[in-house]
Amino acid sequence: MADQYEKKITWTIKNFSSLQSQEIYSDNFVVGDTKWHLLAYPKGYGDSINKCLSLFLRVPDPDDLPSGWKRHIIYRLTVVNQMSEKLSKQEVAQGWFYRNSHSLGSQTMLPLNEFLDVNGGFLGNGEVKIVAEVGLLEVVGKSDVLEETLLVNESINVNGFQVLPSQVESVNNLFKKHPDIASDFRLENTHLRTTYLNSLLCLTELLCQSPHKLSNVDLANAHCTLTCVTKAGFKLDWLEKKLKEVGKTRMQQLEQNLKDLKESLCWSSDDEDDLIIPFKT
């Protein structure tokens, strides 16, 4: 799972014990085509006030997100124990971020009595260290909140597309196997090019999974994504064929499961008949 994390940042909060703020924000960082930041509540949030440290991954300025924007994210948040890494506290999860649901994390990240213990290891010289690892699983809709300078600084040009360092190998392999894949791709906007390529990478990764691991929703989303990136100009006949094969295999599995269930019910009925003892007069 570690290779799914495209970005890893360490957030050091200095003079933590003397902070008066109810909430603290990290600097923004970039994953995919979107800005993110961390939000910590030193004294807790919601039902965890005065009980636990609360920690969240969040999209800043959600009101600026365009309509239809969605991102499927996997993340791991770690409050580092500076005496022993084995004692560090982690939250590992994945979920969808929307314009109206732009924050995920844990209200109960770490109990305050454990967190604030001077001998507990979470406060070292008054500092708290939090590590966030974030990866992009699926992209829906475009994002226009990313500044051009940030995108250039964070990415590498591969065949005319700006990609993250962690994506270079995957993109190179994609163009090696299908050299004409983007020959009809005409979009000039850097952000849109990145968004469509990320969608394509997520789609290829999804279809590499075993069909029995894919739900009907997964296949429906895959079909929508394929239609979208194909209309943008990618040549994806090979991927369309793959999707049809996966769908056919999935259907055969469902039919076999139904057949097995029917046979199981028939055997159960036969067993009950065997238990009937005829009444002799």
Q: How far is CA 1 from CA 43, 76, 139, in A?
A: 31, 10, 19
- Round to whole Å and give the CA distance between 207 and 244: 10
pLDDT at 78: 95
Distances (CA, A) of 224 to 49, 186, 202, 210: 42, 20, 13, 20
- The pLDDT assigned to 148 comes to 44
Cα 271 to chain centroid distance, Å, stands at: 48
pLDDT bracket for residue 191 (50, 70, 90): confident
pLDDT range class, residue 67, cuts 50, 70, 90? confident
Average pLDDT of the segment spanning 132-147? 76
- Domains (range + CATH), the chain: 7-140 (2.60.210.10), 156-266 (no CATH)
- Is pLDDT of 280 > 70? no
Question: CA 23 to CA 79: how far, in whole Å?
Answer: 16
Per-residue pLDDT of 154-175, as tens digits, reads: 678 888 888 877 788 888 899 9
pLDDT at res. 35: 86
Q: How many other CB atoms sit within 10 Å of the CB of residue 114?
A: 16
Of the candidates 220, 232, 241, the residue with the CA atom closest to the CA atom of residue 194:
232
Share of the chain above pLDDT 70, in %: 86
**Of 62, 63, 93, 65, whose CA–CA distance to 77 is shortest?**
93
What is the per-residue pLDDT across 99-125, written as a single tens digit (0 to 9) for each?
Answer: 888 899 999 999 999 998 888 899 888
Q: What is the DSSP letter of 65?
A: S
N residues, the chain: 281
Q: Is the pLDDT of residue 150 over 60?
A: no
Average pLDDT over every residue of 28-53: 88
Burial, 273: exposed, middle or buried (Cβ in 10 Å; 0-12, 13-18, 19+)?
A: exposed
Question: Tell me: the pLDDT tens digits for 68-78?
Answer: 888 999 999 99
pLDDT at 2 over 70: no
Using alpha carbons, select from 80, 39, 85 the residue that is nearest to residue 62. 39
Main-chain phi, psi angles of 144, to 5 degrees: -120, 25
Token pair, residue 270, equals 């036969």
d(C-alpha 202, C-alpha 180), whole Å: 19
Mean pLDDT for the chain overall? 82
253 token code pair: 């599995």
Q: Taken in order 146, 149, 151, 157, is the CA torsion positive or negative?
A: positive
Q: What is the pLDDT of residue 274?
A: 54
Which strand (E) or helix (H) includes residue 107?
Answer: strand 103-111
Predicted confidence (pLDDT) per residue in 16-40, tens digit? 877 778 899 998 888 877 889 999 9
pLDDT by residue (tens digit) across 204-251? 887 887 777 777 777 777 888 888 889 889 999 988 888 888 878 877
Phi, psi at 190, each rounded to 5°: -60, -40
How would residue 270 be classed by pLDDT, with cut points 50, 70 and 90?
low
